[in-house]
Structure 1
Amino acid sequence: MDLSLLFTLALIHCVALVSPGPDFAIMVKIATSQPRNTAIATAVGVSVAILAHTILSLTGVSLVIKSSHTLYLLVQLLGASYLAWMGFGALKATIAFFRKPKRLLKGEEAESSVATEAQANTGDNSQTKAEKSLSPRQGFMTGLYTNLLNPKALVFFLTLFSALITPSVTPATKVAAALVLFVLSLIWFGFLALMLSKAKVQQKMQRITPIIDAVIGVIFMSVALAIVSNLLLV
Structure 2
Amino acid sequence: MSASALLTLMGVWVAVLVVPGPDLVQVIRVAPRSTRAGVMCALGVCSGTVFWVTASLAGLSAVIAARPSVLGALQLIGGLFLIYMGASSLRSGFASRRAPTVVVGTEDYTEQAIAAGSINDMTGWRAYKLGVVTNLSNPKALVFFGAVFAQFIRPDMSPTWTVAVAVILLAMSLTWFSTIAFIVRAASRWIAHHSAAIDIVSGLIFAVLGLVMAVEGIIELFG
The normalised TM-score by structure 2 is 0.85
Partner of 2:12: 12
Give the match's secondary structure for 1:197.
Answer: helix
Residues 1:66 and 1:19: Cα distance change in structure 2 (over 3 Å): same
Tell me how far 1:92 sits from its aligned partner.
1.6
Paired residue type of 1:142 = L
Matches within 5 A, 1:126-141: 131-141=119-129
CA distance in 2, matches of 1:183, 1:74: 30
Tell me how far 1:161 sits from its aligned partner.
2.0
1:220 aligns with 2:219: no
Tell me how far 1:144 sits from its aligned partner.
0.5
Partner of 1:23: 23
Residues 1:151 and 1:18: Cα distance change in structure 2 (over 3 Å): closer
- RMSD of aligned residue pairs (Cα, Å): 2.4
Q: Indicate if the aligned counterparts of 2:80 and 2:214 stay in contact, CA closer than 8 A.
A: no
Q: Indicate if the aligned counterparts of 1:91 and 1:213 stay in contact, CA closer than 8 A.
A: yes
Structure number with greater Rg is 1
Larger displacement relative to structure 2 (62-71 or 149-158): 62-71
CA distance in 2, matches of 1:194, 1:97: 24
CA distance in 2, matches of 1:217, 1:126: 20
Structure with higher RCO (Cα < 8 A, 6+ apart): 1
Partner of 1:57: 56
Residues 1:10 and 1:125: Cα distance change in structure 2 (over 3 Å): farther
Tell me how far 1:151 sits from its aligned partner.
4.3
Identical aligned residues as a percent: 29
CA distance in 2, matches of 1:14, 1:152: 12
Tell me how far 1:158 sits from its aligned partner.
2.2
* Structure 2: gaps of 5 or more residues: none
Q: Deviations over 1:49-108 (max 9, x none)?
A: 11221121122134325643554444223212211111001112233344x3xxxx5xx2
* Structure 1: gaps of 5 or more residues: none
CA distance in 2, matches of 1:45, 1:56: 17
CA distance in 2, matches of 1:3, 1:70: 35
Paired residue type of 1:161 = F
Paired residue type of 1:182 = L
Paired residue type of 2:199 = D
Tell me how far 1:229 sits from its aligned partner.
1.8
Q: Deviations over 1:102-139 (max 9, x none)?
A: xxx5xx22x23xx4xx62xxxx5788765434111111
1:167 aligns with 2:166: no
- Size of the aligned set, in residue pairs, is 215
Q: Deviations over 1:24-59 (max 9, x none)?
A: 000000002x22112111100101111221121122
Q: Indicate if the aligned counterparts of 1:51 and 1:181 stay in contact, CA closer than 8 A.
A: no
Matches within 5 A, 1:109-120: 109=101, 111-112=102-103, 115=104, 119=106
Residues 1:27 and 1:48: Cα distance change in structure 2 (over 3 Å): same
1:156 to 129, 134, 144: 144
Paired residue type of 2:149 = F
